[in-house]
Structure 1
Protein backbone atom coordinates (compact mmCIF):
# COMPACT_ATOMS: atom_id res chain seq x y z
CA UNK A 1 0.00 0.00 0.00
CA UNK A 2 1.46 3.35 -1.02
CA UNK A 3 1.42 6.13 1.54
CA UNK A 4 -0.37 9.36 0.70
CA UNK A 5 1.57 12.55 1.53
CA UNK A 6 0.04 14.38 4.46
CA UNK A 7 -2.00 11.33 5.53
CA UNK A 8 -1.43 8.96 8.42
CA UNK A 9 -1.53 5.33 7.36
CA UNK A 10 -3.93 3.17 9.35
CA UNK A 11 -4.19 -0.58 9.64
CA UNK A 12 -6.67 -2.29 7.30
CA UNK A 13 -9.99 -3.14 8.88
CA UNK A 14 -9.22 -6.85 8.46
CA UNK A 15 -6.11 -6.53 10.60
CA UNK A 16 -8.03 -4.90 13.43
CA UNK A 17 -10.84 -7.46 13.23
CA UNK A 18 -8.39 -10.37 13.23
CA UNK A 19 -6.67 -8.99 16.34
CA UNK A 20 -10.03 -8.55 18.09
CA UNK A 21 -11.09 -12.11 17.27
CA UNK A 22 -7.77 -13.43 18.60
CA UNK A 23 -7.93 -11.37 21.80
CA UNK A 24 -11.59 -11.83 22.75
CA UNK A 25 -11.47 -15.56 23.66
CA UNK A 26 -8.42 -14.93 25.86
CA UNK A 27 -10.40 -12.43 27.94
CA UNK A 28 -13.51 -14.54 28.55
CA UNK A 29 -12.28 -15.89 31.94
CA UNK A 30 -11.53 -12.29 32.92
CA UNK A 31 -15.04 -11.27 31.89
CA UNK A 32 -16.58 -13.64 34.42
CA UNK A 33 -14.30 -12.53 37.24
CA UNK A 34 -14.47 -8.81 36.50
CA UNK A 35 -18.23 -8.76 36.15
CA UNK A 36 -18.85 -10.52 39.45
CA UNK A 37 -16.29 -8.44 41.32
CA UNK A 38 -17.33 -5.24 39.51
CA UNK A 39 -20.95 -5.86 40.49
CA UNK A 40 -19.80 -6.40 44.08
CA UNK A 41 -17.87 -3.13 44.01
CA UNK A 42 -20.83 -1.22 42.55
CA UNK A 43 -23.16 -2.69 45.19
CA UNK A 44 -20.66 -1.84 47.92
CA UNK A 45 -20.55 1.76 46.73
CA UNK A 46 -24.33 1.89 46.64
CA UNK A 47 -24.67 0.49 50.16
CA UNK A 48 -22.08 3.01 51.35
CA UNK A 49 -24.31 5.84 50.15
CA UNK A 50 -22.74 6.75 46.81
CA UNK A 51 -24.64 7.30 43.56
CA UNK A 52 -23.88 5.01 40.61
CA UNK A 53 -21.89 7.89 39.08
CA UNK A 54 -19.09 7.21 41.55
CA UNK A 55 -18.35 3.56 40.65
CA UNK A 56 -18.96 4.35 36.98
CA UNK A 57 -16.44 7.21 36.79
CA UNK A 58 -13.95 5.61 39.18
CA UNK A 59 -13.89 2.31 37.27
CA UNK A 60 -13.39 4.23 34.03
CA UNK A 61 -10.63 6.59 35.18
CA UNK A 62 -8.87 4.75 38.03
CA UNK A 63 -9.25 1.14 36.84
CA UNK A 64 -7.53 -0.40 39.85
CA UNK A 65 -9.91 -2.73 41.62
CA UNK A 66 -8.14 -2.97 44.97
CA UNK A 67 -7.61 0.78 45.15
CA UNK A 68 -11.24 1.43 44.23
CA UNK A 69 -12.43 -0.72 47.14
CA UNK A 70 -10.05 1.10 49.49
CA UNK A 71 -11.16 4.46 48.05
CA UNK A 72 -14.64 3.92 49.54
CA UNK A 73 -13.23 4.27 53.07
CA UNK A 74 -10.98 7.13 51.99
CA UNK A 75 -13.97 9.03 50.62
CA UNK A 76 -15.94 8.42 53.79
CA UNK A 77 -13.06 9.45 56.07
CA UNK A 78 -11.21 12.71 56.67
CA UNK A 79 -9.49 14.38 53.70
CA UNK A 80 -5.92 13.06 53.65
CA UNK A 81 -4.33 13.09 50.17
CA UNK A 82 -0.92 11.92 51.43
CA UNK A 83 -2.45 8.84 52.99
CA UNK A 84 -4.35 8.12 49.77
CA UNK A 85 -1.14 8.49 47.73
CA UNK A 86 0.88 6.25 50.04
CA UNK A 87 -1.80 3.58 50.15
CA UNK A 88 -2.21 3.60 46.36
CA UNK A 89 1.55 3.22 45.86
CA UNK A 90 1.69 0.35 48.34
CA UNK A 91 -1.26 -1.50 46.84
CA UNK A 92 -0.20 -1.10 43.21
CA UNK A 93 3.59 -1.24 43.61
CA UNK A 94 3.58 -4.55 41.74
CA UNK A 95 2.76 -2.65 38.54
CA UNK A 96 6.31 -1.28 38.54
CA UNK A 97 7.52 -4.82 37.89
CA UNK A 98 4.82 -5.40 35.29
CA UNK A 99 5.98 -2.28 33.45
CA UNK A 100 9.60 -3.40 33.41
CA UNK A 101 8.56 -6.79 32.03
CA UNK A 102 6.51 -5.18 29.23
CA UNK A 103 9.13 -2.70 27.97
CA UNK A 104 10.06 -4.80 24.95
CA UNK A 105 6.52 -5.93 24.17
CA UNK A 106 5.17 -2.38 24.07
CA UNK A 107 7.77 -1.22 21.55
CA UNK A 108 6.31 -0.21 18.22
CA UNK A 109 2.71 0.03 19.42
CA UNK A 110 2.47 3.74 18.52
CA UNK A 111 -0.48 5.74 19.81
CA UNK A 112 -1.80 2.67 21.65
CA UNK A 113 1.13 2.62 24.08
CA UNK A 114 -0.22 5.29 26.54
CA UNK A 115 -3.50 3.40 26.88
CA UNK A 116 -1.69 0.07 27.25
CA UNK A 117 0.30 1.59 30.13
CA UNK A 118 -2.79 3.10 31.76
CA UNK A 119 -4.93 -0.01 31.38
CA UNK A 120 -2.37 -2.61 32.46
CA UNK A 121 -3.90 -4.60 35.30
CA UNK A 122 -2.90 -8.01 36.67
CA UNK A 123 -5.12 -9.88 34.22
CA UNK A 124 -4.15 -7.88 31.12
CA UNK A 125 -0.48 -8.27 32.02
CA UNK A 126 -0.89 -12.04 32.41
CA UNK A 127 -2.50 -12.39 28.99
CA UNK A 128 -0.31 -9.94 27.06
CA UNK A 129 2.89 -11.29 28.56
CA UNK A 130 2.21 -15.01 28.17
CA UNK A 131 -0.08 -15.24 25.12
CA UNK A 132 1.32 -16.81 21.98
CA UNK A 133 0.12 -14.25 19.42
CA UNK A 134 -0.30 -15.78 15.93
CA UNK A 135 2.17 -14.50 13.34
CA UNK A 136 -0.59 -13.02 11.19
CA UNK A 137 -2.10 -11.02 14.09
CA UNK A 138 -0.86 -7.51 14.82
CA UNK A 139 0.77 -7.52 18.28
CA UNK A 140 -0.16 -3.94 19.14
CA UNK A 141 -3.83 -4.35 18.28
CA UNK A 142 -3.99 -7.69 20.09
CA UNK A 143 -2.67 -6.18 23.33
CA UNK A 144 -4.90 -3.13 22.85
CA UNK A 145 -8.05 -5.23 22.61
CA UNK A 146 -7.05 -7.41 25.59
CA UNK A 147 -6.56 -4.26 27.66
CA UNK A 148 -9.67 -2.50 26.37
CA UNK A 149 -11.97 -5.50 26.78
CA UNK A 150 -10.82 -6.10 30.36
CA UNK A 151 -11.29 -2.40 31.10
CA UNK A 152 -14.83 -2.45 29.72
CA UNK A 153 -15.71 -5.61 31.67
CA UNK A 154 -14.78 -3.90 34.91
CA UNK A 155 -16.44 -0.62 33.90
CA UNK A 156 -19.76 -2.18 32.91
CA UNK A 157 -19.85 -4.50 35.94
CA UNK A 158 -19.16 -1.65 38.36
CA UNK A 159 -21.70 0.61 36.70
CA UNK A 160 -24.45 -2.02 36.72
CA UNK A 161 -23.67 -2.86 40.35
CA UNK A 162 -24.06 0.80 41.24
CA UNK A 163 -27.32 1.14 39.32
CA UNK A 164 -29.01 -2.04 40.50
CA UNK A 165 -27.33 -2.34 43.92
CA UNK A 166 -30.37 -1.05 45.75
CA UNK A 167 -32.51 -3.77 44.16
CA UNK A 168 -30.31 -6.67 45.33
CA UNK A 169 -31.06 -8.03 48.77
CA UNK A 170 -29.29 -11.41 48.86
CA UNK A 171 -26.02 -11.99 50.72
CA UNK A 172 -23.10 -11.17 48.39
CA UNK A 173 -20.35 -12.13 50.84
CA UNK A 174 -17.58 -14.15 49.23
CA UNK A 175 -17.97 -12.94 45.64
CA UNK A 176 -14.46 -11.47 45.77
CA UNK A 177 -13.08 -15.05 45.76
CA UNK A 178 -13.80 -15.11 42.01
CA UNK A 179 -10.58 -13.14 41.48
CA UNK A 180 -8.53 -15.62 43.50
CA UNK A 181 -9.97 -18.53 41.53
CA UNK A 182 -9.19 -16.74 38.26
CA UNK A 183 -5.53 -16.20 39.24
CA UNK A 184 -5.25 -19.89 40.14
CA UNK A 185 -6.53 -20.83 36.67
CA UNK A 186 -4.07 -18.44 34.98
CA UNK A 187 -1.20 -19.93 37.02
CA UNK A 188 -2.21 -23.50 36.17
CA UNK A 189 -2.47 -22.69 32.46
CA UNK A 190 1.02 -21.20 32.54
CA UNK A 191 2.31 -24.22 34.48
CA UNK A 192 0.90 -26.65 31.94
CA UNK A 193 2.28 -24.65 29.02
CA UNK A 194 5.86 -24.40 30.34
CA UNK A 195 8.13 -27.43 30.58
CA UNK A 196 10.55 -25.71 32.95
CA UNK A 197 8.87 -24.77 36.26
CA UNK A 198 11.92 -23.34 38.01
CA UNK A 199 10.73 -19.72 37.92
CA UNK A 200 7.23 -20.66 39.10
CA UNK A 201 8.60 -22.69 42.00
CA UNK A 202 10.96 -19.87 42.94
CA UNK A 203 8.07 -17.44 42.93
CA UNK A 204 5.93 -19.68 45.12
CA UNK A 205 8.77 -20.47 47.52
CA UNK A 206 9.86 -16.85 47.99
CA UNK A 207 6.26 -15.69 48.38
CA UNK A 208 5.62 -18.26 51.13
CA UNK A 209 8.89 -17.35 52.84
CA UNK A 210 8.06 -13.64 52.95
CA UNK A 211 4.45 -14.37 53.90
CA UNK A 212 5.71 -16.13 57.03
CA UNK A 213 8.31 -13.44 57.70
CA UNK A 214 6.24 -10.29 57.13
CA UNK A 215 2.61 -11.38 57.40
CA UNK A 216 -0.24 -11.24 54.91
CA UNK A 217 -0.48 -7.43 54.83
CA UNK A 218 3.20 -6.62 54.24
CA UNK A 219 4.77 -9.46 52.26
CA UNK A 220 3.90 -8.51 48.66
CA UNK A 221 6.47 -5.78 47.99
CA UNK A 222 9.51 -7.50 49.60
CA UNK A 223 8.50 -10.79 47.98
CA UNK A 224 8.31 -9.21 44.53
CA UNK A 225 11.65 -7.46 45.04
CA UNK A 226 13.21 -10.77 46.03
CA UNK A 227 11.64 -12.58 43.06
CA UNK A 228 12.85 -9.86 40.68
CA UNK A 229 16.37 -10.03 42.11
CA UNK A 230 16.64 -13.83 42.08
CA UNK A 231 15.19 -14.18 38.57
CA UNK A 232 17.53 -11.44 37.31
CA UNK A 233 20.54 -13.29 38.73
CA UNK A 234 19.32 -16.59 37.27
CA UNK A 235 18.20 -15.16 33.95
CA UNK A 236 20.96 -16.69 31.83
CA UNK A 237 20.84 -20.19 33.41
CA UNK A 238 17.04 -20.24 33.12
CA UNK A 239 17.25 -19.12 29.48
CA UNK A 240 19.70 -21.95 28.73
CA UNK A 241 17.44 -24.48 30.42
CA UNK A 242 14.48 -23.19 28.40
CA UNK A 243 16.39 -23.50 25.13
CA UNK A 244 17.53 -27.04 25.93
CA UNK A 245 14.08 -28.20 27.09
Structure 2
Protein backbone atom coordinates (compact mmCIF):
# COMPACT_ATOMS: atom_id res chain seq x y z
CA UNK A 1 0.00 0.00 0.00
CA UNK A 2 2.90 2.33 0.74
CA UNK A 3 4.12 1.94 -2.84
CA UNK A 4 0.66 2.77 -4.19
CA UNK A 5 0.37 5.85 -1.96
CA UNK A 6 3.76 7.07 -3.12
CA UNK A 7 2.77 6.61 -6.77
CA UNK A 8 -0.63 8.26 -6.28
CA UNK A 9 0.48 11.33 -4.34
CA UNK A 10 1.95 13.39 -7.26
CA UNK A 11 -1.31 13.00 -9.18
CA UNK A 12 -3.33 14.30 -6.23
CA UNK A 13 -1.32 17.48 -5.56
CA UNK A 14 -3.71 19.72 -7.58
CA UNK A 15 -6.62 18.31 -5.58
CA UNK A 16 -4.65 18.86 -2.37
CA UNK A 17 -4.38 22.56 -3.18
CA UNK A 18 -8.02 22.74 -4.26
CA UNK A 19 -9.43 20.88 -1.26
CA UNK A 20 -7.43 22.99 1.17
CA UNK A 21 -8.67 26.11 -0.62
CA UNK A 22 -12.34 25.13 -0.30
CA UNK A 23 -12.10 23.03 2.86
CA UNK A 24 -10.72 25.88 4.95
CA UNK A 25 -13.62 28.25 4.06
CA UNK A 26 -16.07 25.47 4.90
CA UNK A 27 -14.45 25.01 8.30
CA UNK A 28 -14.62 28.76 8.89
CA UNK A 29 -18.30 28.91 7.98
CA UNK A 30 -19.07 25.94 10.20
CA UNK A 31 -17.21 27.47 13.13
CA UNK A 32 -18.99 30.81 12.65
CA UNK A 33 -22.30 28.93 12.67
CA UNK A 34 -21.47 27.61 16.14
CA UNK A 35 -20.05 24.15 15.35
CA UNK A 36 -16.49 23.29 16.39
CA UNK A 37 -13.65 21.35 14.77
CA UNK A 38 -15.08 17.97 15.84
CA UNK A 39 -18.14 18.68 13.72
CA UNK A 40 -15.88 19.65 10.81
CA UNK A 41 -13.85 16.44 11.18
CA UNK A 42 -16.78 14.02 11.36
CA UNK A 43 -18.82 15.78 8.68
CA UNK A 44 -15.90 15.62 6.26
CA UNK A 45 -15.13 12.03 7.25
CA UNK A 46 -18.68 10.72 6.87
CA UNK A 47 -20.28 13.01 4.27
CA UNK A 48 -17.30 13.92 2.05
CA UNK A 49 -19.33 16.13 -0.27
CA UNK A 50 -18.18 19.71 -0.43
CA UNK A 51 -21.29 21.22 -1.97
CA UNK A 52 -23.56 19.31 0.42
CA UNK A 53 -21.48 20.28 3.44
CA UNK A 54 -21.63 23.95 2.49
CA UNK A 55 -25.42 23.67 2.22
CA UNK A 56 -25.56 21.73 5.48
CA UNK A 57 -24.22 24.74 7.37
CA UNK A 58 -27.30 26.75 6.41
CA UNK A 59 -29.59 23.77 6.95
CA UNK A 60 -28.40 23.24 10.50
CA UNK A 61 -28.64 26.93 11.24
CA UNK A 62 -32.23 27.10 9.90
CA UNK A 63 -33.36 23.94 11.70
CA UNK A 64 -34.62 22.00 8.64
CA UNK A 65 -36.20 18.61 9.31
CA UNK A 66 -34.65 15.27 8.35
CA UNK A 67 -36.97 14.79 5.36
CA UNK A 68 -36.06 18.16 3.87
CA UNK A 69 -32.37 17.49 4.45
CA UNK A 70 -32.64 14.03 2.84
CA UNK A 71 -34.36 15.41 -0.27
CA UNK A 72 -31.86 18.24 -0.64
CA UNK A 73 -28.95 15.81 -0.16
CA UNK A 74 -30.32 13.59 -2.92
CA UNK A 75 -30.76 16.48 -5.33
CA UNK A 76 -27.28 17.83 -4.67
CA UNK A 77 -25.51 14.46 -4.90
CA UNK A 78 -27.55 12.76 -7.61
CA UNK A 79 -24.85 13.60 -10.17
CA UNK A 80 -22.60 10.97 -8.58
CA UNK A 81 -25.01 8.29 -9.78
CA UNK A 82 -24.23 9.30 -13.34
CA UNK A 83 -20.50 9.46 -12.65
CA UNK A 84 -20.59 5.98 -11.15
CA UNK A 85 -22.17 4.43 -14.24
CA UNK A 86 -18.84 4.59 -16.06
CA UNK A 87 -17.07 2.78 -13.20
CA UNK A 88 -19.59 0.03 -12.41
CA UNK A 89 -17.61 -2.71 -14.12
CA UNK A 90 -14.25 -1.48 -12.81
CA UNK A 91 -15.32 -1.10 -9.18
CA UNK A 92 -17.17 -4.44 -9.14
CA UNK A 93 -13.81 -6.20 -9.49
CA UNK A 94 -12.26 -4.51 -6.45
CA UNK A 95 -13.87 -6.64 -3.73
CA UNK A 96 -14.52 -4.82 -0.45
CA UNK A 97 -12.64 -1.78 -1.72
CA UNK A 98 -15.51 -1.00 -4.09
CA UNK A 99 -17.62 0.31 -1.21
CA UNK A 100 -15.07 2.95 -0.31
CA UNK A 101 -14.52 3.83 -3.98
CA UNK A 102 -18.27 4.38 -4.43
CA UNK A 103 -18.46 6.47 -1.26
CA UNK A 104 -15.46 8.63 -2.17
CA UNK A 105 -16.35 9.34 -5.82
CA UNK A 106 -16.37 13.15 -5.94
CA UNK A 107 -16.16 15.40 -9.00
CA UNK A 108 -12.41 15.85 -8.63
CA UNK A 109 -11.64 12.19 -7.90
CA UNK A 110 -13.80 11.10 -10.82
CA UNK A 111 -11.90 13.43 -13.13
CA UNK A 112 -8.58 12.10 -11.85
CA UNK A 113 -9.53 8.42 -12.10
CA UNK A 114 -10.59 9.00 -15.70
CA UNK A 115 -7.25 10.51 -16.65
CA UNK A 116 -4.56 8.47 -14.84
CA UNK A 117 -3.50 4.86 -14.63
CA UNK A 118 -1.31 2.93 -12.24
CA UNK A 119 2.43 3.00 -13.00
CA UNK A 120 4.12 -0.23 -13.93
CA UNK A 121 4.61 -2.46 -10.90
CA UNK A 122 1.84 -0.79 -8.83
CA UNK A 123 -1.39 -2.65 -8.11
CA UNK A 124 -4.19 -0.73 -9.84
CA UNK A 125 -6.78 -1.37 -7.12
CA UNK A 126 -4.44 -0.05 -4.42
CA UNK A 127 -3.51 2.87 -6.66
CA UNK A 128 -7.15 3.90 -7.09
CA UNK A 129 -7.89 3.49 -3.39
CA UNK A 130 -4.79 5.54 -2.56
CA UNK A 131 -5.99 8.39 -4.78
CA UNK A 132 -9.39 8.42 -3.08
CA UNK A 133 -7.95 8.10 0.44
CA UNK A 134 -5.42 10.89 -0.09
CA UNK A 135 -8.04 13.25 -1.49
CA UNK A 136 -10.39 12.37 1.36
CA UNK A 137 -7.66 13.18 3.89
CA UNK A 138 -7.00 16.54 2.19
CA UNK A 139 -10.65 17.52 2.52
CA UNK A 140 -10.75 16.51 6.18
CA UNK A 141 -7.53 18.42 6.88
CA UNK A 142 -8.79 21.57 5.14
CA UNK A 143 -12.09 21.50 7.04
CA UNK A 144 -10.42 21.03 10.42
CA UNK A 145 -7.80 23.71 9.74
CA UNK A 146 -10.52 26.17 8.76
CA UNK A 147 -12.58 25.39 11.85
CA UNK A 148 -9.59 25.76 14.18
CA UNK A 149 -8.61 29.02 12.48
CA UNK A 150 -12.18 30.27 12.84
CA UNK A 151 -12.10 29.61 16.56
CA UNK A 152 -9.00 31.79 16.90
CA UNK A 153 -9.72 34.51 14.35
CA UNK A 154 -13.06 36.28 13.95
CA UNK A 155 -13.90 38.10 10.72
CA UNK A 156 -16.68 38.54 8.20
CA UNK A 157 -16.95 35.25 6.27
CA UNK A 158 -19.41 36.51 3.64
CA UNK A 159 -18.57 35.15 0.21
CA UNK A 160 -16.52 32.21 1.48
CA UNK A 161 -18.99 29.74 0.00
CA UNK A 162 -18.02 30.91 -3.51
CA UNK A 163 -14.87 28.76 -3.18
CA UNK A 164 -16.86 25.67 -4.24
CA UNK A 165 -18.25 27.44 -7.32
CA UNK A 166 -14.75 28.57 -8.25
CA UNK A 167 -13.44 25.00 -8.03
CA UNK A 168 -16.21 23.72 -10.32
CA UNK A 169 -15.33 26.43 -12.85
CA UNK A 170 -11.66 25.44 -12.80
CA UNK A 171 -12.55 21.76 -13.34
CA UNK A 172 -14.88 22.67 -16.20
CA UNK A 173 -12.27 24.83 -17.93
CA UNK A 174 -9.62 22.13 -17.50
CA UNK A 175 -11.91 19.49 -19.03
CA UNK A 176 -12.87 21.89 -21.84
CA UNK A 177 -9.21 22.38 -22.71
CA UNK A 178 -8.12 18.74 -22.53
CA UNK A 179 -11.15 16.74 -23.71
CA UNK A 180 -11.12 15.71 -27.40
CA UNK A 181 -14.66 17.00 -28.01
CA UNK A 182 -16.74 19.83 -26.52
CA UNK A 183 -20.09 18.20 -27.31
CA UNK A 184 -20.70 16.81 -23.74
CA UNK A 185 -19.88 20.20 -22.20
CA UNK A 186 -22.16 22.04 -24.61
CA UNK A 187 -24.97 19.57 -23.99
CA UNK A 188 -24.51 20.04 -20.26
CA UNK A 189 -24.68 23.82 -20.57
CA UNK A 190 -27.77 23.65 -22.80
CA UNK A 191 -29.55 21.20 -20.48
CA UNK A 192 -28.80 23.32 -17.42
CA UNK A 193 -30.07 26.49 -19.08
CA UNK A 194 -33.28 24.74 -20.16
CA UNK A 195 -33.82 23.37 -16.64
CA UNK A 196 -33.13 26.80 -15.17
CA UNK A 197 -35.67 28.44 -17.48
CA UNK A 198 -38.36 25.79 -16.97
CA UNK A 199 -37.95 24.82 -13.31
CA UNK A 200 -36.21 27.83 -11.78
CA UNK A 201 -32.95 28.19 -9.86
CA UNK A 202 -34.11 26.34 -6.75
CA UNK A 203 -35.34 23.21 -8.58
CA UNK A 204 -32.97 22.74 -11.50
CA UNK A 205 -30.53 20.09 -10.17
CA UNK A 206 -32.45 16.87 -10.79
CA UNK A 207 -34.19 17.94 -14.05
CA UNK A 208 -30.86 19.18 -15.41
CA UNK A 209 -29.11 15.89 -14.59
CA UNK A 210 -31.87 13.81 -16.19
CA UNK A 211 -31.88 16.00 -19.29
CA UNK A 212 -28.09 15.80 -19.54
CA UNK A 213 -28.28 12.00 -19.37
CA UNK A 214 -30.94 11.89 -22.11
CA UNK A 215 -28.96 14.23 -24.37
CA UNK A 216 -25.73 12.28 -23.86
CA UNK A 217 -27.44 9.01 -24.77
CA UNK A 218 -29.03 10.64 -27.80
CA UNK A 219 -25.74 12.14 -28.93
CA UNK A 220 -23.45 9.25 -28.01
CA UNK A 221 -22.68 8.36 -31.65
CA UNK A 222 -21.22 11.74 -32.72
CA UNK A 223 -19.45 11.98 -29.35
CA UNK A 224 -17.81 8.57 -29.78
CA UNK A 225 -16.68 9.49 -33.28
CA UNK A 226 -14.81 12.52 -31.96
CA UNK A 227 -13.57 10.88 -28.79
CA UNK A 228 -10.04 9.60 -29.07
CA UNK A 229 -8.76 8.52 -25.65
CA UNK A 230 -5.03 8.75 -25.17
CA UNK A 231 -3.65 7.32 -21.91
CA UNK A 232 -1.40 9.64 -19.89
CA UNK A 233 2.20 9.67 -20.94
CA UNK A 234 5.07 9.46 -18.49
CA UNK A 235 6.34 12.90 -19.31
CA UNK A 236 6.85 16.02 -17.27
CA UNK A 237 4.45 18.97 -17.22
CA UNK A 238 7.04 21.01 -19.09
CA UNK A 239 7.11 18.48 -21.90
CA UNK A 240 3.31 18.43 -22.08
CA UNK A 241 3.18 22.23 -22.30
CA UNK A 242 5.80 22.22 -25.05
CA UNK A 243 3.76 19.67 -27.01
CA UNK A 244 0.58 21.73 -26.60
CA UNK A 245 2.14 25.03 -27.63
Instruction: Give the TM-score taking structure 2 as reference length.
Output: 0.81
Cα distance in 2 for partners of 1:50, 1:38 equals 15
Map 1:62-77 → 2, pairs under 5 A: 62-77=47-62
Residue ranges of structure 2 left out of the alignment (5+ in a row): 230-245
Secondary structure of the residue aligned to 1:217 is helix
Q: Does 1:168 align with 2:153?
A: yes
Map 1:143-222 → 2, pairs under 5 A: 143-222=128-207
Q: Could you report, residue by residue, the CA deviation over 1:77-109 in whole angstroms, capped at 9, with x for unpaired residues? A: 447221221121122121221222221232322
Segment of structure 1 superposing worse, 21-30 or 105-114: 21-30
Indicate which of 20, 36, 48 corresponds to 2:5. Answer: 20
CA RMSD of aligned residues (A): 2.6
1:30–1:182 contact (8 Å) kept in structure 2: no
Q: Could you report, residue by residue, the CA deviation over 1:176-231 in whole angstroms, capped at 9, with x for unpaired residues? A: 33333333332333233333222222222222232233333222221111111121
Cα distance in 2 for partners of 1:76, 1:193 equals 40
The count of corresponding residues between Structure 1 and Structure 2 is 229
1:33–1:178 contact (8 Å) kept in structure 2: no
Q: Could you report, residue by residue, the CA deviation over 1:38-76 in whole angstroms, capped at 9, with x for unpaired residues? A: 222222222222222111111111112222233334434
| CA gap 1:53/1:208 in 2 versus in 1, 3 angstroms | same
User: Moved runs in structure 1, 4+ residues, more than 6 A?
Assistant: none
2:195–2:204 contact (8 Å) kept in structure 1: yes
Question: Corresponding residue for 1:115?
Answer: 100
Indicate which of 211, 218, 233 corresponds to 1:233. Answer: 218
Q: Does 1:133 align with 2:113?
A: no
Q: CA deviation at 1:238?
A: 2.5
1:40–1:158 contact (8 Å) kept in structure 2: yes
- Higher Cα radius of gyration: 1
Secondary structure of the residue aligned to 2:177 is helix
Residue ranges of structure 1 left out of the alignment (5+ in a row): 1-12
| CA gap 1:48/1:21 in 2 versus in 1, 3 angstroms | same
Indicate which of 64, 74, 82 corresponds to 2:67. Answer: 82
| CA gap 1:36/1:191 in 2 versus in 1, 3 angstroms | closer
